[in-house]
Amino acid sequence: MARETLEQLFRKKYYAQLIEVQSRLSQEERLQTDVKWREEIYRVLHSLKGTAGTLGFANLTHMAETGVLMFSESHTYALPSYMIAPLHTLINEAITYLRVAEHAHVSEDILQEMRNFNALDGKPKRILVIDDDEILLSSIHHMLSMGGFDVEVLSDPSHNLEEMLNRQPDCIILDIMMPDTDGFYVMQHIRNDVQREFTPVLMLTARADLTDKYKGFQLGADEYLTKPFHFEELMLRIKTLISRVEKYRSLTLYDSLTGLHNRRYLLDRLQELFIMHARKPQNVTLSIIDLDFFKRVNDTYGHPCGDTVLKSFASFLKEKLRETDIITRYGGEEFIVVLPDTPLEQAQIILNRVREDFSRTEIHCSCQNVSFFQTFSCGMAQIGIDGHDITSLIEYADKALYLAKFKGRNRICLASELGDDATNGAARKKVLIADDDMIVQAILKTQLADTDWDLIFAKNGQEVLNIVTDVTPDLFILDGMMPVLNGLEACMTLRKQPRFAKTPIIMLTGRDAKEEIAQALDTGVDDYVLKPFSAIELKARINRLFVRTTSR
């Protein structure tokens, strides 16, 4: 919209409103008894004060501000009778002034700075502006659009607010004083959604009342701007707010070593995909990738060389996959790739091609001046078919990954293959769990009920030793503190028996003491899990130990 058109709209709107105010001021008797009349006059002046100054009508802003101050109490819109005549004169001057105008201005340097900012990642920043003043909305839309922003406006937050918020704006500009739904209510609604917890909100107000600002900050506002404001200041504040949030997200949602997104980002995106799938079924495939024999790389060449492998693999995935694909480092040498809008069969073809290409790619570690080739194994599952929530989807893909490892590595297995008799026979493992807390035993029994493992329970370390005289478990989970014989003592005794010399042992404890952890690892414990624990994490650790056992 052209600048001249904005000024014409401004003049037209406020000329008509001020003429109506002038008429009402002439009816003094009704003016003193009709609260609604006084409220409407106050709102016209309040709105004019903010909009006029933003558009560059400085003198008009001063007139409107003087008019607002003539009301003795803003909450009852009380207007003393001796103020009616001066206000009438002021309104006449404002009507006359509307015939002469200056316009809002933003320097070309600032506009270019904003355009460069919006071009950084190839996608302009989306700004949502909520204000009941349509002239101001048009002006903000026009100016921010000139700076390269993608601007959406909403004059009535009681309509379409949720739809606008679901478009995930990068910054929200929110007016406090609106006729039906005030800005504080909207602010609270925004912050009640955890997905919008860090969306920056800049509140606009024509009032310099500290109480309003205090309330806004309490509800989660990030910044305040008082009307009238300069567009240059508005643009710079928006840029600062968005840049700060983006920097924070880069620290919390990215893996520092590989530059890929991390587990937190993955879970957030999976939640979005499951919501979309519930509304309309989607073809979304999740793949868990594990680098084969990665421990040997660390043991042979050292961890710096291992880091080089991880970074090389991350770069390889980004090069081979689409920008729309979600590539994350899940932990250690495990990566998760989510392919949206991709059926399972097509995803298998894509990942197989990636696997074959990667197996032929030489990796050079300059720290040891060595070069070698690396392979990976992969398990795949599909939303809605193999898993109906995040937990089950990852579990099915993890089981498929275990199957790929069991079948010899450097291959891809699907969750649909888990029903094979050979798989069930191979995957049937005995897990002996020792914990004197019956509640913990019940929790583990429930959380591991959907696995292919035979669960055996003991109350203390001595019972463990009694059980293993007749049974040979494939993995032990031992509580650190138990009566009769604690977990550490049980571990030491088990390790003395040749058949359990390499059997995986996980220590489960509520103590986070470094000396205790070091002692347990020296004794022969393979992994350490702190209470409270996550079922997903515990299953993943058990699966990983099973895989390492079969590779020995």
Q: Is the pLDDT of residue 337 over 90?
A: yes
Contact 140, 51 (CB under 8 A): no
The DSSP code sequence of 93-127 is HHHHHTTS-------HHHHHHHHHHHTTTSSPPEE
Which pLDDT tens digit goes with each residue over 375-416?
999 999 999 888 788 888 998 999 999 888 888 889 999 998
Sequence-distant (≥ 6) Cβ neighbours of residue 122 within 8 angstroms: none
Domain boundary pick from 360, 387, 417? 417
Asked, for residue 258, whether it belongs to a domain, the answer is no
Confidence band for 103, pLDDT divided at 50, 70 and 90:
very low
Q: Is the pLDDT of residue 458 over 60?
A: yes
**521 and 387, same structural domain?**
no
* Residue 540 structural domain: 429-550
Burial of residue 217 (number of CB atoms within 10 Å: 0-12, 13-18, 19+)? middle
Averaged pLDDT, 475-496: 89
Distance CA 125, CA 202 (A): 15
Asked, for residue 41, whether it belongs to a domain, the answer is yes
Averaged pLDDT, 22-43: 85
**305 and 241, same structural domain?**
no
Where is average pLDDT lowest: 9-13, 244-248, 259-263? 9-13
**136 and 76, same structural domain?**
no
**270 and 345, same structural domain?**
yes
The candidate with the shortest Cα–Cα distance to 434, out of 405, 458, 400, is 458
Asked, for residue 423, whether it belongs to a domain, the answer is no
Q: Is the pLDDT of residue 27 over 70?
A: yes
**181 and 93, same structural domain?**
no
Q: Tell me, what CATH number does 164's domain have?
A: 3.40.50.2300
Distance CA 268, CA 78 (A): 51
**298 and 242, same structural domain?**
no
Q: Is the pLDDT of residue 40 over 50?
A: yes
Where is average pLDDT lowest: 50-54, 158-162, 170-174, 370-374? 50-54
Sequence-distant (≥ 6) Cβ neighbours of residue 175 within 8 angstroms: 130, 131, 132, 133, 183, 203, 204, 205
Distance CA 391, CA 386 (A): 11
Instruction: Considering only residues 136 and 460, tell me which one the structure prediction assigns the higher pLDDT.
Output: 460
Asked, for residue 424, whether it belongs to a domain, the answer is no
Q: Is the pLDDT of residue 200 over 80?
A: yes
Quote the pLDDT of residue 181.
76
Which pLDDT tens digit goes with each residue over 518-530?
777 878 888 888 8
Question: Is the preceding omega at residue 80 within 30 degrees of 0, hence cis?
Answer: no
Asked, for residue 92, whether it belongs to a domain, the answer is yes
Sequence-distant (≥ 6) Cβ neighbours of residue 393 within 8 angstroms: 270, 286, 381, 383, 386, 387
Averaged pLDDT, 169-178: 89
- What length is written for the chain? 552
Asked, for residue 269, whether it belongs to a domain, the answer is yes
Averaged pLDDT, 363-371: 89
Q: How far is CA 75 from the centre of its chain?
A: 40
Q: Is the pLDDT of residue 3 over 60?
A: no
Distance CA 71, CA 250 (A): 49
Q: Is the pLDDT of residue 1 over 50?
A: no
**310 and 388, same structural domain?**
yes
Q: Tell me, what CATH number does 407's domain have?
A: 3.30.70.270
Helix (H, G, I), strand (E, B) or coil at 351: helix
Domain boundary pick from 51, 78, 99? 99
Quote the pLDDT of residue 433.
94
Name residue, tokens 């015939």: 99
Domain boundary pick from 417, 445, 463? 417
Averaged pLDDT, 490-505: 87
Query: What DSSP state is assigned to residue 159?
Result: S
Quote the pLDDT of residue 314.
94
Distance CA 186, CA 152 (A): 16
Quote the pLDDT of residue 2.
43
Q: Which strand (E) or helix (H) includes residue 357?
A: helix 344-359
Distance CA 191, CA 220 (A): 7
Quote the pLDDT of residue 152.
93
Give the chain's domain count: 4
**222 and 195, same structural domain?**
yes
Mean model confidence pLDDT for the chain: 85
Distance CA 264, CA 250 (A): 12
Quote the pLDDT of residue 65.
86
Q: Is the pLDDT of residue 421 over 70?
A: no
Name residue, tokens 């710096």: 304
Helix (H, G, I), strand (E, B) or coil at 479: strand
**447 and 412, same structural domain?**
no
Query: What DSSP state is assigned to residue 452?
Result: S
**496 and 387, same structural domain?**
no
**123 and 77, same structural domain?**
no
Q: Which strand (E) or helix (H) includes residue 246?
A: helix 231-252
**412 and 271, same structural domain?**
yes
Instruction: Considering only residues 135 and 307, tell me which one the structure prediction assigns the higher pLDDT.
Output: 307
Averaged pLDDT, 527-538: 81
Asked, for residue 7, whether it belongs to a domain, the answer is yes
Quote the pLDDT of residue 177.
80
